[in-house]
Amino acid sequence: MQLSVWTYEGPPHVGAMRVATAMRGMHYVLHAPQGDTYADLLFTMIERRNARPPVTYTTFQARDLGKDTAQLFQQAVRDAVERFAPEALMVGASCTAELIQDDPAGLSEAMGLPCPVIPLELPSYQRKENWGAAESFYRIVRTLAEPVARLSRQERKPFANILGPCALGFRHRDDVIEVRRILAALGVEVNVVAPLGASPADIRRIGEADFNVVLYPEIGDEAARWLERAFDQPAIRIVPIGVGATRDFIRAVAQQANVDPAPALDDDGSRMPWWSRSVDSTYLTGKRVFIFGDATHAITAARIASEELGFEVCGLGCYNREFARDLRAAAKEYGAEPLITDDHLAVEAAIAEAAPELVLGTQMERHIAKRLGLPCAVISSPVHVQDFPARHSPQMGFEGANVIFDTWVHPLVMGLEEHLLAMFREDFEFSDEAGASHLAAHSPARPAHVPVPANEVEPDTATTSAWTAEAERELKKIPFFVRGKARRNTEAFASEHGRGEIDLTTLYDAKAHYAR
Amino acid sequence: MSGLPAPSTDCAPVLRERGQREVFCGLTGIVWLHRKMQDAFFLVVGSRTCAHLLQSAAGVMIFAEPRFATAIIEERDLAGMADCQDELDRVVGQLLARRPEIRTLFLVGSCPSEVIKMDLGKAAERLGQAYAPQVRILNYSGSGIETTFTEGEDACLEALVPEMPSAETDAAPELLVVGALPDIVEDQFARLFAELGIANVHMLPSRSAAQLAPVGPQTRFLLAQPFLTQTARALEDRGATRLDALFPFGAEGTTAWLHAAANAFGVDEMHFNRVVAPGRERAKRAIARSRERLEGRRISFLPDSQLEIPLARFLATELGMQPVEVGTPYLNRAQMAGELALLPAETRISEGQHLERQLDRVRTDRPDLTVCGLGLANPLEAEGLATKWAIELVFSPIHGFEQAGDLAELFARPLRRRDVLEV
């Protein structure tokens, strides 16, 4: 048993729902009690979908348990097939139905249905949402994909599938647009995008492509691995998030398709490199950033942070253990401690410990950052209604990198503003507590009722007798957004060097010690 | 349930259906119950789905550490590699060490814990002894195979009833208001009862789960919520008497509800009228604005919280709306008799749910407003049907005189918005 307050991932059948909902012409009959129907609202409310997910629930009750829940399941299948006439049907059980062992696969097979049936075995007590999505998509591809003879490459353009985009995905809708744009610039035609927007008929001809582009390995890679083996379709696994990764992705696709990468590389809409090199960004140098999310988004974020914004990655983690190895490798590369956990309290403790200047995380870390009074940007699922903006807001491709620059930098105090704050700090009209003018939307000044971590308590009230009055005054002259760190560093330095009293000398010795 | 004898006030026949239900399970009640009882913690013994539901129903993860959590059953618990009861002891120990301020811990059963027949009663007893007297440990089931949405509150309050101290047999009659209400509403009612001269008024649940009201043959109780069948039965088993009344929605419902208490406590009629008149008048004034927009409009309710029938009555009698279909997950005819009698005779009452057929009826009926769950609202809007999310009726203060205008506005706003928008 595991004590859990908030979860990063839902159960695996929610992953299957995400795949079913992403597709057209698909229906999913889920053997589940009534409470499980809550999952519909994830799609209709968070993603604002204008149609119900194509899911029929059997909603068995306690009184059905002694009788025939299997018959109830078959009735639900019959009704769903008759009413929705799907091109293909997914069947499976949620956690409760798994325990009553009705065997949806066998039951639906015995029914002689007029459409292909994809039985799903998703062990609810072992696995989670992403795994459920990947397994469901793989089963769909495996059941429906038909072997095809590809035309010779001389007679046509290169052909690719885009695998992984899904319902309830973090910016998947917009990422697909950007990746399609890249492929179009390279003269590569898109055969099938799946599961998002694909019909069972599309899956059937998935083998026509020369190769696959896997955008979200959490969802698409299991199917891609099978297609590699069964259909001899190579997969490109570079996730084009960030300028460098996008360039790598373009070169890999160009090489695979045997085309010139230049048309896609020379995208004059790529503003991020100059935004990062322009002098106003100088102050970003060495900002300590803590990154947590799904492995794909966290790892790509670490590269952007380190190589493209000049941040220092002070923490890197993911909640999906399936990708722990990749994440550990990335953490090693950026010199950060890897954190692989789905316990948000452990993440909170790690963030507090790392004392970053910016948190890049999920909605969960956004709340953590808010409590700790840290700026934060969201980079990954689990999703929130805010993660489905009305505007085009990709993460992938050059435009995605532009979006990321804005999203990550805006929560920070802007370069010039940082200097002005320091300049005006002593003016009587100016209050430290006011913070920067543009920040309220992202990280409002710490509300009075939120408990402040002990090491952040302001000097007047705290038990900091080791500080001389003069040093305290000097500390107050340091801009408020770095003052907490200066205090911590100085105190750490003082205790490390056995200085009983923190005076001006200690303060400036510590400053020199921690200078970067 | 359906075999209960129909009282004489029975109205039109009820359409009973079975099929897919689109409703929350009883666990959802934790979202408001934990806010109400500030010294109580709710530990769901269930699956990742339960945890995900609570997180999704709570909407946003706004609390650092809410007073609810899930003990997620894992493969090793099911495979017999770990003993579920031992594991639960460990998790409860972990939790109480972390949250020493907790005075009442509810172990909440779920679909999986019910199906594997995990005995949470036994666990509560064992753990209760271990942690007494600091922490009282109780259990109830919020599982979706047994409870629908608000029935979770019913099960929770039912679990509190045996814990209530016995009232002295020669005690003066006391009034107990049953059902979780927002604090502000509770305070308004308390002021009204005090003005009426009803001295001893208790609430179930009270703001502190550790402070339970006494109960006994002298207890008269008023249901503030229409979904408390089992709690009412448990109170009656302890000798308490239910005061039959309309539910306190709108000017008339609130007046009737207060009147039931006034009658039981021998409050003079003139005095009663004097006390309620200002609130009642304010409520009527507050409703008037919405009445212009809602009068003559047709409304359907999909089953959700069991609030449907009293709310349809309020909308019909005080706002002039025409209920088309009023669906409820479960119909308690005895408690609803007065409400049903006030609904227009042609109202279609349905109990239970066959979602697809019900949606077909909504599409045929084309009501001006459909009250439904969050999973259905946007899809119906996209089909051109105006909707009101049912869950807002559960989470917002809607009871009593001072909230009558807000309640009416909840129904009027979707229609007004449609009129305003030009996009």
Is A107 in the same domain as A177? no
- Of B208 and B64, which is predicted with more confidence? B208
User: Which of A37, A95, A96 is opposite residue B375, by nearest beta carbon?
Assistant: A37
Confidence band for B5, pLDDT divided at 50, 70 and 90 = very low
Residue A417 is predicted with a pLDDT of: 65
The string of pLDDT tens digits covering residues A361-393 is 999 999 899 888 889 999 999 988 889 999 999
Answer yes or no: is B383 within a domain: yes
Tokens (6 digits) for A210: 């020369």
pLDDT at residue A296 greater than cutoff 60: yes
Task: Inspect the interface and report whether the beta carbons of A10 and B48 lie closer than 8 Å.
Answer: yes
Is B42 in the same domain as B143? yes
Is A134 in the same domain as A183? no
Is A375 in the same domain as A470? no
Question: What are the DSSP E strand ranges found in B136-211?
Answer: 136-141, 174-178, 201-204
User: Picking from A167-171, B9-13, B77-81, B103-107, which range would have the lowest pLDDT averaged per residue?
Assistant: B9-13
Residue B313 is predicted with a pLDDT of: 98
**Most A CBs within 10 Å: which of B24, B63, B145, as the mutation test of the A interface?**
B145
Q: Which of residues 10-29 of A touch B (CB under 8 A)?
A: 10-11, 13-14
pLDDT at residue A501 greater than cutoff 50: yes
Backbone φ/ψ region at A306: left (φ over 0), alpha (ψ -120 to 50), beta: alpha
Is A392 in the same domain as A459? no
In chain B, % of residues over pLDDT 90: 87
Is A260 in the same domain as A279? no
- Kindly report whether the peptide bond that precedes residue B133 is cis, defined as omega within 30 degrees of 0: yes
Answer yes or no: is B165 within a domain: no
User: Which of B26, B56, B72 is opposite residue A38, by nearest beta carbon?
Assistant: B56
pLDDT at residue A456 greater than cutoff 90: no
Task: Inspect the interface and report whether the beta carbons of A50 and B148 lie closer than 8 Å.
Answer: no
Residues of B in contact with A55 (CB under 8 A): none
CB within 8 Å of A345: residues ≥ 6 apart: A5, B65
The string of pLDDT tens digits covering residues A259-268 is 999 999 998 8
Pick from A59, A104, A107, A56: nearest CA to A80? A56
pLDDT at residue B395 greater than cutoff 90: no
Answer yes or no: is A146 within a domain: no
Is A24 in the same domain as A122? yes
Confidence band for B258, pLDDT divided at 50, 70 and 90 = very high
Residue A109 is predicted with a pLDDT of: 93
Residue B1 is predicted with a pLDDT of: 38
- Of B404 and A460, which is predicted with more confidence? B404
pLDDT at residue B92 greater than cutoff 70: yes
Residues of A in contact with B378 (CB under 8 A): 44-45, 48-50
- Of A245 and B12, which is predicted with more confidence? A245
3-state secondary structure of B230: helix
Average pLDDT over residues A476-492: 78
The residue of chain A with its CA nearest to that of B83 is A1
Residue A428 is predicted with a pLDDT of: 58
In chain B, % of residues over pLDDT 70: 96
Answer yes or no: is A446 within a domain: no
Answer yes or no: is A432 within a domain: no
Task: Inspect the interface and report whether the beta carbons of B379 and A10 lie closer than 8 Å.
Answer: no
User: Picking from A281-295, A346-360, A486-500, which range would have the lowest pLDDT averaged per residue?
Assistant: A486-500
User: Which own/partner pairs from A386-390 qualify as long-range (CB within 8 Å, at least 24 positions apart)?
Assistant: A387/A46, A387/A170, A387/A171, A387/A363, A388/A46, A388/A47, A388/A48, A388/A173
Confidence band for A497, pLDDT divided at 50, 70 and 90 = confident
Answer yes or no: is A429 within a domain: no
Task: Inspect the interface and report whether the beta carbons of A34 and B71 lie closer than 8 Å.
Answer: no
**Most A CBs within 10 Å: which of B25, B48, B356, as the mutation test of the A interface?**
B48
Residue A444 in contact with partner chain B when CB distance is under 8 A: no
Residue B57 is predicted with a pLDDT of: 79
Is A408 in the same domain as A497? no
**Most A CBs within 10 Å: which of B34, B45, B70, B111, as the mutation test of the A interface?**
B111
Instruction: Name the domain count of chain A.
Output: 4
Tokens (6 digits) for B11: 């109205």
Residue A373 burial (CB count, 10 A): 18
Confidence band for A430, pLDDT divided at 50, 70 and 90 = low
Full domain range(s) for residue B217: 174-273
Is B294 in the same domain as B410? yes
Task: Inspect the interface and report whether the beta carbons of A94 and B65 lie closer than 8 Å.
Answer: no
Answer yes or no: is A399 within a domain: yes
Task: Inspect the interface and report whether the beta carbons of B73 and A59 lie closer than 8 Å.
Answer: no
Answer yes or no: is A440 within a domain: no
**Most A CBs within 10 Å: which of B24, B49, B143, as the mutation test of the A interface?**
B49
pLDDT at residue A440 greater than cutoff 60: no
Task: Inspect the interface and report whether the beta carbons of A62 and B77 lie closer than 8 Å.
Answer: no
Residue A443 is predicted with a pLDDT of: 43
Task: Inspect the interface and report whether the beta carbons of B145 and A58 lie closer than 8 Å.
Answer: no
What global pTM score does this model have?
0.90
Full domain range(s) for residue A456: 452-516
Is A497 in the same domain as A380? no
Q: How far apart are CA B229 and CA B253, in angstroms?
A: 19
Task: Inspect the interface and report whether the beta carbons of A125 and B66 lie closer than 8 Å.
Answer: no
The string of pLDDT tens digits covering residues A212-245 is 999 999 999 999 999 999 999 999 999 999 999 9
The residue of chain A with its CA nearest to that of B375 is A41
Is there a catalytic annotation at residue A266?
A: no
Is B294 in the same domain as B415? yes
Instruction: Name the domain count of chain B.
Output: 3
Q: Which of residues 84-103 of A touch B (CB under 8 A)?
A: 94-96, 99-100
Is B234 in the same domain as B356? no
Residue pairs spanning A and B at CB distance below 8 A: 189
The string of pLDDT tens digits covering residues A130-172 is 999 999 999 999 999 999 887 777 778 999 999 999 999 999 9
Answer yes or no: is B306 within a domain: yes
Tokens (6 digits) for B215: 């109960």
The string of pLDDT tens digits covering residues A43-72 is 999 999 999 999 999 999 999 987 889 999
Residue A455 is predicted with a pLDDT of: 43
Residue B107 is predicted with a pLDDT of: 98
**Most B CBs within 10 Å: which of A64, A83, A95, as the mutation test of the B interface?**
A95
pLDDT at residue A442 greater than cutoff 80: no
Is B188 in the same domain as B132? no
Answer yes or no: is B107 within a domain: yes
Is B112 in the same domain as B76? yes
- Residue ending a domain, choose from B239, B273, B307: B273
Catalytic: which of A68, A79, A260, A280?
A: A280
Residues of B in contact with A43 (CB under 8 A): 375
Answer yes or no: is A229 within a domain: yes
pLDDT at residue A449 greater than cutoff 90: no
- Residue ending a domain, choose from A265, A290, A309: A265
CATH number, position A356: 3.40.50.1980
B16: distance to nearest CA of chain A, Å? 16
Average pLDDT over residues B107-130: 96
CB within 8 Å of A409: residues ≥ 6 apart: A281, A284, A309
The residue of chain B with its CA nearest to that of A72 is B19
Is B31 in the same domain as B85? yes
Q: Which of residues 333-372 of A touch B (CB under 8 A)?
A: 345, 363-364, 367, 371
- What strands, in cross-sheet order, belong to the sheet with B174-178? B201-204, B174-178, B219-223, B241-242
Answer yes or no: is A426 within a domain: no
Average pLDDT over residues B318-329: 97
Is B294 in the same domain as B211? no
Average pLDDT over residues B237-256: 97
Residue A458 is predicted with a pLDDT of: 42
> CB–CB of B174/B235 below 8 Å?
no
Residue A149 is predicted with a pLDDT of: 81
Task: Inspect the interface and report whether the beta carbons of B21 and A123 lie closer than 8 Å.
Answer: no
Residue type, A207: G
Residues of A in contact with B91 (CB under 8 A): 1-3
A475: distance to nearest CA of chain B, Å? 30
Residues of B in contact with A384 (CB under 8 A): 60
CATH number, position B234: 3.40.50.1980
Residues of B in contact with A100 (CB under 8 A): 115
pLDDT at residue A274 greater than cutoff 50: yes
pLDDT at residue A258 greater than cutoff 80: yes
User: Picking from A33-42, A246-255, A488-497, which range would have the lowest pLDDT averaged per residue?
Assistant: A488-497
User: Picking from A95-109, B45-59, B253-267, which range would have the lowest pLDDT averaged per residue?
Assistant: B45-59
Is A287 in the same domain as A245? no
Residue A377 is predicted with a pLDDT of: 96
pLDDT at residue B383 greater than cutoff 60: yes
- Residue ending a domain, choose from A360, A387, A415: A415
Is B295 in the same domain as B414? yes
Is A260 in the same domain as A281? no
Is A276 in the same domain as A401? yes
B195: distance to nearest CA of chain A, Å? 35
Is B205 in the same domain as B319? no
Pick from B353, B377, B232, B367: nearest CA to B312? B367
Is B269 in the same domain as B317? no
Is B245 in the same domain as B320? no
Is A203 in the same domain as A77? no
Residue A429 is predicted with a pLDDT of: 58
User: Which own/partner pairs from B127-136 qualify as long-range (CB within 8 Å, at least 24 positions apart)?
Assistant: B127/B88, B127/B89, B127/B92, B130/B89, B131/B92, B131/B96, B131/B105, B134/B103, B135/B96, B135/B102, B135/B103, B135/B104, B135/B105, B136/B103, B136/B104, B136/B105, B136/B163, B136/B209, B136/B210
Report DSSP letters for A149-218, one per residue: PPPPGGGS--EEEEE---TT-SSHHHHHHHHHHHHHHHTPEEEEEESTT--HHHHHTGGGSSEEEES-HH
User: Picking from A285-289, B9-13, B28-32, which range would have the lowest pLDDT averaged per residue?
Assistant: B9-13
Q: What is the mean pLDDT of chain A?
A: 89
Residue B9 is predicted with a pLDDT of: 46
